Structure 1
Amino acid sequence: MSSTAASLYADHLATLQSRTATALERGGFDHLAIPSGTLHYQVFDDRDYPYAVNPQFKHWLPLQRNPGSWLVVTPGARPKLVYLQPRDYWHVVPQAPEGYWVDHFDIVVIRKAEDAMQHLPRNAQRCAVLGEPQSALGKYAAYRPNNPQPVLDYLEYHRAFKTPYEIEMLREATRRGVRAHRAAERAFRAGASEFGIHLAYCQAAGQDANELPYSNIVALNEHGAVLHYTELDRLPPKPARSFLLDAGASHGGYACDITRTHAQDTAGEFQALVDAVDAAQQRMCAQVRDGVDYRQLHLDAHLALAGILQDAGIIRVSPEEALSTGVSSTFFPHGIGHGLGLQVHEVAGFAASDRGGTIPKPEGHPYLRLTRVLEPGFVVTIEPGLYFIDMLLEDLRAAGRGDSVDWDRVDAFRPYGGIRIEDNVVCTADEPVNLTREAFAVP
């Protein structure tokens, strides 16, 4: 943990306390109770799925491997952590609580999960309990997560506004992710398979597949046209023409989300297309400003990418016509990005206010994950892409738009799959801070 993050932690907690007091008042509750979550077991088996901590829990604490614990927040009082440290010789037991955060909590250590009951508020009906159903606790499941909507609406809406502590945690996650991206590119250029590149990435990140914030997308050649490609071939293709890597890393419960695309031939046409997307992406990142409607940023990205397609001779229509007719969506079918934080796709991306409501997506753009107006403290991804996806190209022809495309140029680029460039950007009151480029700038 960096000393910077530790020095910012008290103010982070004060912000969460203030938000919680308002959220509880809105919902008519006295306490906030948050279970860390429990293990899930596979049906007809005794194997558990990888444990994932409740995001509401890790918002307060940098703890990610502590199932069966609880956090209780009461306005005007120190938060209480009920920390499960079981007697167990089959598994590694969590260490005693330690670190920069412990002095900010009243901590009770329990040995059995059910012992948490005696340390929770006596009247469960006065508690907003945020968690999954199987975290219910007590003989009659008195502490059953009720997830009251007014409380969730308020807390999740304001999670978009990252505290300085959270920005520092995201910066650390990004540094780890960039280190791993560099190792993965070296493995690609050395001739490794998708699986081998994935292993090189995990080694450099110092995290295994279950610790990463999402499954690595490691795509060589045509596989880059599959937006969420996670198959990981064990043998490299011959030749290996292109490499698309969408992979992140975690730090203290926070995620980075980075994508880079590489050409084996750094002097060829595909590299020139990658360079054009990269330059356009940096201009898009510069648009992450206070007061900018993220929906407009998405539509502007379509115009920019359609311009690249036109310049490359891939489409025969203007960017404006490509956008209005859906031609641009054939080559750029996903959204320009999303919120980022405790979750890779941060919550409340469509929230109209902290009392609920939804801001609609632009018509014809169903996969955009964020529709809010940007404000200082927002952290978003900017990830434009161009892909040569057979299914969508077939749909374009079937819709009578085949004349908009130079099919010989499409065929020339099909073997490369696609391009995506993704950075994590902080909206401020002034110029945006690009955490990803910042990390890549350090040798």
Structure 2
Amino acid sequence: MFDHQIYIKRREELKKKFKSGLLLFLGNDEAPINYPANTYNFRQDSSFLYYFGLPIPNLAGIIDVDENKEYLFGYEYTLEDIVWMGPQPKLAELAERVGVQNSDSISNLKKFLKTKVSKGVKIHFLPLYRGEHNLKLASLLDDDPFKINRKASKKLIEAVVEQRSVKAPEEIAEIEYALEIAYQMHTTAMRMAKPGLTENDIYAALNGIALSLGNGVSFHPIISINGQTLHNHFHGNQLQEGKLLVCDAGAESYEFYSSDITRTIPVGGKFSQRQKDIYEIVLTAQKNAINMIKPGVKHVDVHLTAAKIIAAGLIQLGIMKGNPGEAVKAGAHALFFPHGLGHMMGLDVHDMEGLGEQYVGYDDKTKRSEQFGLAYLRLAKELKSGFVFTCEPGIYFIPELIDQWKAKKKLKNFINYDKVEEYRNFGGIRIEDNILVTENGYKVLGRLIPKEVSDVEAAYNAV
């Protein structure tokens, strides 16, 4: 945990956004796997962590704007609990750790809220993403669990997004630590990309590194020789010489901040000329996109720049044709680059996605496109100093998508379908780094993980 003054300051900043009302933050509860006592690894709600810091289940935090008071509601452990779990802190002690003066049993939360509602106090809460929380909050507020999310506070969402989007120095330090873990993970994957091993061998190794150095992985790693599937979580394939291995993996620091890196590795340690040609296009797109990053630039424009470079590279190889700018405007590049360039990152690897992408990545001046590919861009709005996000262009040859577009002769003025067939079984390439927007430009966070062709090949043989 951070020093308690950090949490006090965060809550004070949030409180300034409201003239009245009560701000409610539900912490997460334990979630059973297959019977009540056998639970998934506990992960606290990120907004609760941001304002109340405690990675412990069965808690709720309240900021009472009208009375200028803060409360921690939770579970007071019994002697029976201590027999199984060992000595546990008192609720008042937990509250003191994060600078909260008032604490009470979670069993009294409903009565507390009911009293406030009866006095006409507005209860602000964030959207819920766990079904049991819909039931819990509906019970606390005597509401319909199927409709409770409709009453999530837009004002609170916008205030939390504005605050959490700009990372403080202590947060950057945590992300940097998570990236050091990612460095160990990805360089290990590069050394392990040997014919005969399985994707699962690497998956297991990377999970072990993340657990030994931090709080585990920040998301289920994507480790696949079928890199044309963007989020491929199957790890049962055997690595074969000549295949490309897409490794998209990151870790959480001990304070739950994320890293998210992708590298594409040639199985056996050597890119073929064809693989190198495509790889260099992706790398050039990423480098140029990163060089554009500074406050005031719209991220959608960074995305479109990367898309034009990808289109130009594919035109040079004869896979696409025509003018790169016109091809991107028509959406032809999305056959090969069907996702957005990046997403915000912090306490969540897709930071604050549960609060709604329309608030995190878009605003009143930036509306989401309906064009295939561009519609998946998670971050489009103007960049500000303190933002941390990913930059991850890619090129993919997805047989099912190729077949659909080819059958419809879609955008045939920009796509050479005969040439595309030569790459049908190519797979995919993605390169991803994590970027901080500084006052005048950008910083690529973390120790540089090999990504130049020669460096990736050398990492395969590194001791």
Q: 2:171 & 2:399 partners in 1: Cα distance?
A: 41
Identity of aligned residues (%): 23
**Partner SS, residue 332 of structure 1:** coil
Counterpart of 1:315 in structure 2 is 320
Contact 1:423 1:437 in 2 (8 A): no
2:348 aligned with 1:343: yes
**Partner SS, residue 224 of structure 1:** coil
**Partner SS, residue 273 of structure 1:** helix
Q: Aligned to 1:250, which of 249, 252, 261?
A: 252
Contact 1:336 1:383 in 2 (8 A): yes
Q: How does 1:14-413 map to 2 (within 5 A)?
A: 14-22=9-17, 24-25=18-19, 28-29=20-21, 31-41=22-32, 48=39, 51-64=42-55, 66-74=56-64, 79-84=70-75, 86-87=77-78, 88=81, 92=85, 96=89, 103-106=97-100, 113-114=106-107, 123=116, 126=121, 127-130=123-126, 132-136=133-137, 147-189=152-194, 191-206=196-211, 211-220=216-225, 223-233=226-236, 235-239=237-241, 241-251=243-253, 252-264=255-267, 265-269=269-273, 270-347=275-352, 349-351=357-359, 357=364, 359-364=366-371, 365-400=374-409, 401-402=411-412, 404-407=414-417, 409-413=419-423
Equivalent AA in structure 2 for residue 55 of structure 1:
S
Contact 1:81 1:105 in 2 (8 A): no
Count of residues paired in the alignment: 426
Equivalent AA in structure 1 for residue 107 of structure 2:
E
Contact 2:396 2:429 in 1 (8 A): yes
**Partner SS, residue 350 of structure 1:** helix
Change beyond 3 A, Cα 1:352–1:170: closer
Change beyond 3 A, Cα 1:121–1:20: farther
**Partner SS, residue 60 of structure 1:** helix
Change beyond 3 A, Cα 1:301–1:49: same
**Partner SS, residue 425 of structure 2:** helix
User: Cα offset for 1:161?
Assistant: 1.8
**Partner SS, residue 159 of structure 1:** helix
Task: Give 5+ residue unaligned stretches, structure 1.
Answer: none
Question: RMSD value over aligned CA atoms?
Answer: 3.9
Contact 1:84 1:109 in 2 (8 A): no
Q: 2:415 & 2:140 partners in 1: Cα distance?
A: 65
Q: 1:244 & 1:113 partners in 2: Cα distance?
A: 45
Q: 1:36 & 1:241 partners in 2: Cα distance?
A: 44
Higher alpha-carbon deviation: 382-391 or 314-323: 314-323
Q: 1:68 & 1:212 partners in 2: Cα distance?
A: 23
Counterpart of 2:431 in structure 1 is 421
User: Cα offset for 1:407?
Assistant: 4.9
Contact 2:181 2:251 in 1 (8 A): yes
Contact 2:24 2:62 in 1 (8 A): yes
User: Cα offset for 1:358?
Assistant: 7.3
User: Cα offset for 1:272?
Assistant: 3.8
Q: Given the two structures, how large is their TM-score scaled by the length of structure 2?
A: 0.78
Task: Give 5+ residue unaligned stretches, structure 2.
Answer: 452-461
Q: Given the two structures, how large is their TM-score scaled by the length of structure 1?
A: 0.82
